[in-house]
Chain A
């Protein structure tokens, strides 16, 4: 609410406006003031000024010279003047009739578009019926369609009557302003809102209307004021249309072709005709919702006299209320523009016919040119979503033109088209504040004046507190807030009687909302946000909370309507809605009939528009505009992603309606809704990071296509169904089939075009959750294809981040698991970053090119450049996945080959070992065995085919029953051959095959303890670490037991026996360390040369005992220790004469 200045300022403004209007009807300054006033001030003084503007426009129209079509307009204007007097009389008669006529006029507006061909016929009937009274014409409206056209004129007459009465309202407003308090200034606004709400209530429930009517006269006064507000928008739109004409006429004058002027005039009527039909659809839909909300509040009012609201709720509602007034204007302005467009279309038709006659035979070139321009205009505007918001966009364009002074007009046209997509989201979101507004109105009415003052005083500090709290709010917290609001709604449900199934469904949904919000709390809280985004998020929080509340309440209210006695009226409202959708179906039929060439060009134009949409925020952000500009941009940013959640929840509500009576299906629908909520929140997160990202635009575009396809599906079902009941599940199931088929066609069209492939592909992941759960053969194929791409993204991400091996995906599976859905959100981020990087180069090229001379061909080039890059990336990802899958297969093969090799290796080794041991076994028996045992053993060997060895060197096993340190025993240990008992042979004989000998190793506890060894250990060490490996051994002649035996033993332990010692050994001062000298006492003389060199000489016992114990004890077995004495400088040896003699060093 902008505060009002002093009374003097207001009077001055009024004076200025009057002067401009009277003297200069088309002066630019006058228009500028009007536009500023529209946005900056919402006081009722402007209404009076706009009324005067309307009159001026009409006068201007009369002054221009026009063709026969224009003459027809003059006739209409005269008719209105005549009827004006009658309308005034009707007002004098009574207020009741006025309200009833209003409700009838709504139906007239709705049904008008059903039969476009009969418009001219209605005109004739309308004129003939003017003389009749209002009451008689009201009766005719129930019987046939032609009389309904009368009320179109009647409504325009009422507008004139209201204008006359404005003088009284103005007086009241002036009186309020004199008092000068803000409290009193706000009251009129509140009164207006109340009036609107009760007028809508009266449309549904006559009884309630009667009571309210008698009780409060001021309500009607408020209603009149709100209508005058609508008039303001109407007049503004009319000006814009008139302004467009001069702009277009200037262009063809350059070419100096007179026929072009006629063509330009024809363009405008066709454009208006198409737009008027769609505006009905938009105007009716929010009305139905608001009426349902009002009905709910009336019921609550009747049951509970006093209702209390939390302070937080009041804060939200206060802020929400501030938006409701502008949205109210817009909605009514759409309804009013219908009148203008209806007239314009009739004029257009006649003009076109006249132009044909003027051309005579017709020029071939001119006809082609004409078709070309018509196709161009029809295609970009034929998309239903874009056409709805055309009116509002024009207003914004006018403002941009004046404030930023863009020199080139053609650029303005480009901008107006490119912003259509963004503005559609606004229109959708305008529905939300109404719920808050209606709540607020009832609350204020119930409270006393004193309570009102107290609550206002308290609200201001609370609002500040809420603002501070919201600075820290993140997206995840928003989800939690929505869940809490759902819980509040559950509380409200208790007040009303509801089906058990419905209750179960809602509680389930609430539970899932909590789960989803809990899961996301941690991820978002750690992220940093800029101040700018914080502001947007505040608005976003409010709108989202309202969205969730609205969607649930609308669902609940629809069900209550079916339960109440109001069944008949709800059916009528639905039939009206179907009528609207039917009209849009007709227009879609035109789309399909357009030629292929025009279709391609229009697609190119669509891409160009989206690129322009990306450019505008950058340009505007660079300039430091006024506060109003900043606000508008903040709103644009917020609208950009908020309604996505809103639309998603509506589809959720629709699913609940369809599956209401089937619990299992409804639960599944709830799952779909939850997933889509998560998806939409993810999209919002992306949008908040990069508002200019292309994927966001793509996703919004995709939603538009989806919504339009749904409405088309519903329209197709109208001819098949004679009556539609929400409770009748069978029919609803039947109706679903045509819907799905149509959506397939639309998507295929979009997929066929290569230029749109990139955008559609990027938006598919976000849209797919909505389609999950539907079972149709055709749709299953599409889902399968999308699933493949879906998995590709998941695989790429997991391979790049986790480094884990990816298993091949089963591409035939029809469902996507929740895990994949969780992975999809990060995948979207990856795609988003890639798309944004690829967008930079097209944007730069677009900027660098001359915008004034830009054509469709040049605009297409950036799109073409972007698509190969995106395709290349996708192809690269797929190739990476293929390589990974191949490496997995190779790894798997290697593992298989390894597993195959092992049994092959193991089996032959066992078999070969068995056969080798049996055939190669050679036994050597100890001589200490009993002869009888030996005799028996040999018989066994004969039977087994085992031979007896002659020496231990040739034998594989040595059989002995006790340890006796014989030559064979020591040699057996030296070689590490198994020393076993005769029982081993017994066991082999019984088994008739080889048996492992380790269990039969000879153990002689007594001897082992005496000598200090362990037979198994010694045998093992002898094999692993030969005793004299790497050493040279010299054995003297008389060594015991014999030189031959000792030498053989030395060789057995891998010693290198030296037979003779060359002189080289004695050249050095010392003997080599690796030489081991084994000798005996008798060979002292032979050892003297070694002793002189300081070498040590050892007994043969060193080796014999060492083999058994596997340890060499040098000190214990040293020889000639007493014969050697060593001092510091000399070495002394004892000779035969028993005296030590110093040894002289030879070297």
Chain B
């Protein structure tokens, strides 16, 4: 797989910070590391098991987006918002690395042919980031959240619990979501309904709100 990094925001403070704090070379290296890690988590060893993508492009750009948006992915393109890079208060290099892992998952994951809940899609991406040890400190802890498909960090923790019940659960779930999605996948893989699993998960951690 080939990678390219384009910084279109060098005229802005965010673009400059990306160049100085992270750099194109580190970003490119991170893209490749993330790809290899993702293939391992999804157990996609053979090319036939993966999406047919030969090149991945990373763009740093200055544009107006809804508040709170860090980056977004469109097929084989990853866009990082320069303003977010500029406004981040902590270790920007570690944060951006985690963001790149999250976005790279969107490049390689199956989405249930558009039928899977968006919370589950985002949850799987954060699950990979969690396993790569790039989870930020402000994420919710295990046992928190209102529902299993709330998305992002909440769903990521729930999937980590399911994976402990059965090793390789997330990989198998992703494989089945190649052609579609159904809540029955949880029953098939773990023998219980997703709601039952959620209740067990909440009970394990004391039903904290």
Contacts and interface: CB of A to CB of B under 8 A. Distances in A.
Nearest to A923: B66
A589 to B, nearest CB: 102
Contacts of A941: 65-66, 69
Interface in B42-85: 63-69, 71-74, 79, 81
B14 to A, nearest CB: 15
A932 B69 contact: no
A935 interface: yes
Contacts of A940: 72
A725 to B, nearest CB: 94
B151 A935 contact: yes
B7 interface: no
Contact of B151 (A936, A942, A943, A990): A936
B150 A938 contact: no
Nearest to A986: B118
Contacts of B66: 937-938, 941-942, 947-948
A932 B67 contact: no
Contacts of B96: none
B154 interface: yes
A933 B69 contact: no
A938 B118 contact: no
Contacts of B160: none
Contact of B65 (A932, A938, A990): A938
Given A942-B72, A943-B72, A943-B74, A935 B65 contact: no
A939 interface: yes
B151 A933 contact: yes
A937 B122 CA distance: 11
Interface in A905-947: 930, 932-943, 947
B168 interface: no
A935 B122 contact: yes
B180 interface: no
B76 to A, nearest CB: 13
A948 B67 contact: yes
B68 A935 contact: yes
A1085 to B, nearest CB: 45
A930 B72 contact: no
B198 interface: no
Interface residues of B, number: 23
Contacts of A936: 118-119, 121-122, 151
Nearest to A925: B66
Contacts of A942: 63, 65-66, 69, 72, 79, 81
B114 interface: yes
B152 A932 contact: yes
A320 B69 CA distance: 118
Interface string B147-183: 0001110110000000000000000000000000000
Contact of A932 (B63, B81, B154): B154
A863 to B, nearest CB: 94
A933 B72 contact: no
Contacts of A943: 72-74, 79
Which of B64, B65, B79 is the most central at the interface, judged by chain A CB atoms within 10 Å of its CB? B65
A250 B64 CA distance: 130
A933 B114 contact: no
Interface residues of A, number: 17
B18 to A, nearest CB: 17
A939 B152 contact: no
Contacts of B150: 930, 932
Contacts of B67: 938, 948
Interface of chain B, helix or strand or loop or mixed? mixed
Contacts of B63: 942
Contacts of B74: 943
A420 to B, nearest CB: 103
Interface string A890-916: 000000000000000000000000000
B184 to A, nearest CB: 22
A937 B121 CA distance: 13
Contacts of A986: 118
Nearest to A985: B118
A797 to B, nearest CB: 71
Contacts of B72: 939-940, 942-943
B69 A939 contact: yes
Contacts of B73: 943
A730 B109 CA distance: 95
B64 A947 contact: yes
A938 B69 CA distance: 6
A985 to B, nearest CB: 10
Contacts of A935: 68-69, 122, 151-152
A948 B67 CA distance: 8
Contacts of A938: 65-69
B65 A933 contact: no
B55 to A, nearest CB: 19
Contacts of A930: 150-151
A939 B122 CA distance: 11
A937 B151 CA distance: 12
Nearest to A939: B72
Nearest to B103: A939
Interface in A925-976: 930, 932-943, 947-948
Contacts of A948: 66-67
A907 B150 CA distance: 43
Nearest to B114: A990
Interface string A286-323: 00000000000000000000000000000000000000
A932 B139 CA distance: 12
B68 A932 contact: no
A648 B38 CA distance: 105
Contacts of B81: 942
Nearest to A990: B114
B64 A932 contact: no
A939 B64 CA distance: 12
Nearest to B70: A939
A986 B68 CA distance: 18
B105 to A, nearest CB: 13
A947 B63 CA distance: 11
A318 B118 CA distance: 113
Nearest to B66: A938
Contacts of A990: 114
A939 B103 CA distance: 11
A940 B152 CA distance: 15
Contacts of B69: 935, 938-939, 941-942
Contacts of B119: 932-933, 936
A934 B68 CA distance: 9
Contacts of B154: 932
Interface in B97-135: 114, 118-119, 121-122
A930 B151 CA distance: 10
Nearest to B152: A932
A938 B71 CA distance: 10
Interface string A745-780: 000000000000000000000000000000000000
A930 B79 CA distance: 24
Contacts of B152: 932, 935
Contacts of B155: 932
Interface string A979-1006: 0000000100010000000000000000
Given A938-B65, A943-B72, A943-B74, A932 B79 contact: no
14 contacts: A930-B150, A932-B119, A932-B152, A932-B154, A934-B68, A937-B66, A938-B66, A938-B68, A941-B66, A942-B81, A943-B72, A943-B73, A943-B79, A986-B118
Closest 5 CB pairs of A and B: A932-B151, A938-B66, A942-B65, A939-B72, A948-B66
Interface of B: 63-69, 71-74, 79, 81, 114, 118-119, 121-122, 150-152, 154-155
Interface of A: 930, 932-943, 947-948, 986, 990
Given A930-B150, A936-B151, A986-B118, 15 more contacts: A930-B151, A935-B69, A936-B121, A937-B66, A938-B66, A938-B67, A938-B68, A940-B72, A942-B63, A942-B72, A942-B81, A943-B73, A943-B79, A947-B66, A948-B67
